[in-house]
Amino acid sequence: MANLKVTSVTKQFGETPVLKGITLDIADGEFVSLVGPSGCGKSTLLRIIAGLEAPTGGTVAIGDMDVTGMQAADRNLSMVFQSYALYPHLSVAENIAVPLRMREVTGLQRLPVIGGLMPGARGQKQSIATSVARAADRLEIGGLLNRKPGQLSGGQRQRVALGRALVRDPAAFLLDEPLSNLDAKLRVQTRAEIAELHRALNATFIYVTHDQVEAMTMSDRIAVMMGGEILQCAAPEIIYEDPDDIRVAEFIGSPKINILPLERYGSDLSLFGRSLDWHVTQDSPQVMQLGLRPEALHLTQSAPRLRGRVAHFENLGSEVFAQIALEDDAMRVTLRATPAERQMLGLGAEVGLAFDTRSAMAFDADGKRLRKIEAMAGVTSEVA
Amino acid sequence: MTRGWWKHMVLILGAIIVLAPFYMMLSYSLKSPGEIDRGVGGFFGRQEMMVDPRCVALRQPDRADIDAARARFPGQDDAGIQAALQAETETACSMRPVVFNYTKAFTEAPLMRYLLNGVIVTVSIFLIQIVVALPAAYALAKLRFWGREAVFGLVLFCLLIPVHAIALPLYIMLAKLGLTNTYAALVVPWTISVFGIFLMRQFFMTVPDDLIDAARMDGMSELAIVWRVMLPTAIPALLAFAIFSIVAHWNDYFWPRIVVTGNRDLFTPPLGLREFKGDGDGSFFGPMMATATIIVTPLIVAFLIAQRRFIEGITLSGMK
């Protein structure tokens, strides 16, 4: 168990920069997810932390010790791979025992026949077997110990890979998209199990995923990565409700956040040419973007801020998502409605939308969050 | 008749062409010299008792034998005793052709010694080839280093060099080192198999990188990864390579003929066949074919055993 510190790590593959100065502090026992679209550098960052890849610049420290130049094996980290990477020729028990055998048994003792005759070999064998059995029990794979990986289902292989990570009692667990090869149902179940395992072990977890649901449900903190940078690293609810960047707002949340153009005329803000009764100072940027989560929108009959036509809707039973075409199909927004409102959402129906000002987010043209403007607008709208 | 009958005809024809020499070899190894010369007797020959002329010639009774045998043939003159002894010898020297051929194969030349040499040479070559090829293939497939593509290009280039083209320089080098007529001369030139490196490299390319990273995380050194992870997963590819390597060097006549010039103790099985090459007094086709049969049998048996492992293999399915 240890804290982990990544300081201004950069990585270049040839001319291409993959990581552009990543700094990340992970506390002891924390569960941090690295999330982002494919190619954002999250796996590379994990491999640098693991020691499988050398950074071009910057340092990695585990438990306050600089390990940047240290080999993967000496860092005492465990990694679970997307493909599980089990040794196909070894049984489940042997697979789980490998990290212990490599660490605790000398080369001489590992020799086939002579090894058994070396002093202390028997006791070591016993203690390894005990550790393997304990890890297997914890993951409920005790009955599979004599099988080969080829005879296991995807979920079982995944558990064996977890067992191999668990058995060595590592400083931190690194998980590289461990659930992406499982079917949807098993994924939900295993997700909960990994979160529970984290609580039970109270160990440091770094979890790479492109699935925002996994990140949201399991983590203490989420680091959203894009283009080789961490855009924001915070608790899941903050990432969702209070994103720093439009890219974070767009990546997290399903269906996607609605982004609408916002313009300033004098001190007045307007949306599609209609004034919003929001007043800002004259030095605010001319063009801005307004972010609205689907649940921030609601149907209204009186004085709607937006008008449109229902273009498509999806009924999920507990909720309905409707796509509303605004301003003659120039733009579409997604609305999250309750099943009770469904009859108002027939295809082609004209609807009026209002939104909760406090949950609206303003971004500048480059996508940076404009909290100052929101504060100004929020105050004025409350007064109005 | 189905429409694909002509395909079967072509295949059957091909099979006959391939199998005919083996049929002849096996058949000759069973027949008597007379039957071979006259081309009669079908596959098995008639297996009539035959007299080994060489055996009789060697045991021709001399004066002392006749004197010693006088007691057994009372009242006979010397010529009579000689004739009786001659008859006894002929009975003792007569046997079935199949027995004659196969005993000759083992007695005429030290065939067991040749077989043992064959085993020593092919197994040494194969083991050293693996020791060289596996780490090389691993490096070429999975490690990133400067000039890797150039080295792989050299490997491909070496595949194009025919053995016979470099036989003479190799021989001269070995001769200068004083290594002709040694096991080393038979083994050393073959220990680096570019074909093996190429084959294993192509196989290693298909092994997921995650498996190697997992092994590194588990604390294995690069060499440990080669022997503990790559070798076990590569068994099917290694078996394919083993067949190429072992068949080629077990059957090789050319190279042993060049570097083993005098010392018969170093003869490999194919060189042993030469022992039955008739010089003036005709060839011993029966024993020669018996020897050939004995030589190819281990290969056929080994292939049949390996064939099952080929199909089973250790699949990489445990990784996905």
- pLDDT tens sequence across B8-24: 999 999 999 999 999 99
**Is A160 at the interface with chain B, CB within 8 A?**
no
Q: What span, in angstroms and rounded, lies between the C-alpha atoms of B116 and A286?
A: 92
3-state secondary structure of A7: strand
User: Does the beta-carbon distance from B218 to A98 stay under 8 Å?
Assistant: yes
pLDDT at A358 over 90: no
Q: Which of A50, A79, A85 sits opposite B208 (nearest CB)?
A: A85
Strands (E), chain A: 4-13, 16-26, 31-35, 57-62, 65-66, 77-80, 172-176, 204-209, 221-226, 229-234, 258-265, 268-271, 274-279, 287-292, 297-300, 306-315, 320-326, 331-337, 350-355, 361-364
Whole-angstrom distance, CA of residue B212 vs CA of residue B138: 10
What does pLDDT average to over chain B? 86
Q: Does A112 touch chain B (CB under 8 A)?
A: no
Interface contacts A/B by beta carbons within 8 Å? 81
Residues A335 and A321 sit within 8 Å (Cβ to Cβ): yes
β-strand partners of A336: A321
Sort out which chain A residues have CB atoms less than 8 A from B318's CB and list them. 86-88, 148-150, 152, 157
Angle between helices A154-166 and A92-104 (to 10 degrees): 20
Q: What is the pLDDT of residue B127?
A: 96
A79·B229 Cβ contact <8 A:
no
Most A CBs within 10 A among B213, B216, B217, B319, hence the mutation to make, goes to B217
d(CA B100, CA B106): 10
Chain B residue set in contact with A, beta carbons under 8 Å? 208, 210-211, 213-220, 224, 229, 232-233, 314-320
Contact: B320, A83; criterion CB under 8 Å: yes
* Contact indicator for B122, B246 with CB cutoff of 8 Å: yes
Would the CB atoms of A73 and B218 count as touching at under 8 Å? yes
Query: Average pLDDT, whole number, for chain A?
Result: 87
Q: Could you please report the per-residue DSSP string of B229-290? A: IIHHHTHHHHHHHHHHHHHHHHS--HHHHHH--S-GGG--HHHHHGGG--SSS---HHHHHH
Q: Which two tokens stand for residue B310?
A: 């080929």
A212-216, B60-64, B90-94, B242-246: segment of lowest average pLDDT: B60-64
Q: Residues, chain B, total?
A: 320
Residues of chain B contacting residue A164, judged by C-beta atoms under 8 Å apart: 214, 218
Residue B310 reports pLDDT greater than 70: no
* pLDDT computed for residue A115 by the predictor: 64
Which residues of chain A are in CATH 2.40.50.100 domains?
A: 255-383
Average pLDDT over residues A126-154: 90
B208 contacts in chain A (CB < 8 Å): 83, 85
Domain B111-319 has CATH 3.40.190.10: no
Band of pLDDT at residue B157, cut at 50, 70 and 90: very high
The DSSP letter of residue B212 is H
CA–CA separation, A215 and A201 (whole Å): 19
Query: Closest to B232 (Cβ–Cβ): which among A77, A89, A103?
Result: A89
- The terminus-to-terminus CA distance of chain B in angstroms comes to 46
Residues of B in contact with A47 (CB under 8 A): 213
> pLDDT tens across A301-347, in order?
887 888 888 998 888 888 899 999 987 777 889 999 888 888 888 88
pLDDT, greater one: B230 or B38: B230
Min distance B220 CA to chain A CA atoms (Å): 7
- In this prediction the ipTM stands at 0.83
Per-state percent for chain A, helix, strand, coil, to nearest 5? 35, 35, 35
Query: In Å, how far is B226's CA from the nearest CA of chain A?
Result: 13
Question: What token pair was written down for A183?
Answer: 């079917």
Which of B60, B210, B222 shows the shortest CA–CA distance to B136?
B222
Nearest CB to A88; choose among B217, B220, B318? B318
Residues 6+ positions from B306 with CB-CB distance below 8 Å: B239, B242, B243
Q: Per-residue pLDDT averaged across A348-353, rounded?
A: 88
For the record, the structure tokens of A339 come out as 């099943």
DSSP secondary-structure letter at B318?
G
Residue A130 pLDDT exceeds 70: yes
The backbone torsions φ and ψ at residue A273, rounded to the nearest 5 degrees and listed phi first, read 80, -5
CA-nearest residue of chain B to A52? B213
Tracing tokens 């007379």 back to the chain, one arrives at: B34
Per the listing, tokens 């004066």 go with: B63
Examine the pLDDT at A80 and tell me if it is beyond 90.
yes
Which residues in A72-169 belong to E strands, given as ranges? Answer: 77-80
Measured between CB atoms, does A149 come within 8 Å of chain B?
A: yes
Q: Amino acid letter at B94? A: S
In this complex, do A83 and B219 lie within 8 Å of one another by their Cβ atoms?
no
The ranges of chain A annotated as CATH 3.40.50.300 are 4-249
Classified by CATH at the fold level, domain A4-249 comes out as Rossmann fold (3.40.50)
Work out the minimum CA distance from B145 to partner chain A, whole angstroms. Answer: 13
Greater confidence (A111 vs B155) lies with B155
Query: Is A52 in contact with B216 (Cβ distance < 8 A)?
Result: yes
Which of A95, A98, A105 to mutate to probe the B interface, most B CBs <10 Å?
A98
Q: Which residues of B touch A73 (CB under 8 A)?
A: 216-220
CA distance A4 to A77: 11
Residue A326 vs residue A225, higher pLDDT: A225
Task: Provide the CA A116 distance to its chain's centre, in angstroms.
Answer: 46
CB-based contacts of A201, cutoff 8 Å, min separation 6: A166
Q: Which of A49, A67, A76, A89 to mutate to test the interface with B (most CBs of B within 10 A)?
A: A89
Q: Report the percent of chain B where pLDDT is more than 90.
A: 43
The Cα–Cα gap between A338 and A315 comes to 10
pLDDT at B112 over 70: yes
Question: Does pLDDT of B91 surpass 90?
Answer: no
Distance from CA of A71 to the nearest CA of B (A): 9
Residues whose CB is less than 8 angstroms from the CB of residue B12 and which lie 6 or more positions away in sequence, other chains included? none
Give A86's contacts in chain B (Cβ within 8 Å). 214, 318-319
Q: Encode pLDDT of A2-56 as tens digits.
A: 889 999 999 998 889 999 999 999 999 999 999 999 889 999 999 999 999 999 9
Cβ pair A102, B219 in contact under 8 A: yes
Percent of chain A with pLDDT over 70: 94
Picking from B233, B173, B170, B228, the residue whose alpha carbon sits closest to that of residue B204 is B233
Class in CATH terms, A255-383: mainly beta
Alpha-carbon gap: A23 to the closest alpha carbon of chain B (Å)? 23
Torsion from C-alpha of A334, A336, A339, A345, nearest 10 degrees: -30
Q: Where in chain B is the domain with CATH 1.10.3720.10?
A: 111-319
Q: Write phi, then psi, for A331 (nearest 5 degrees).
A: -155, 150
Which chain B residues are within 8 Å of A99, Cβ to Cβ? 217-219
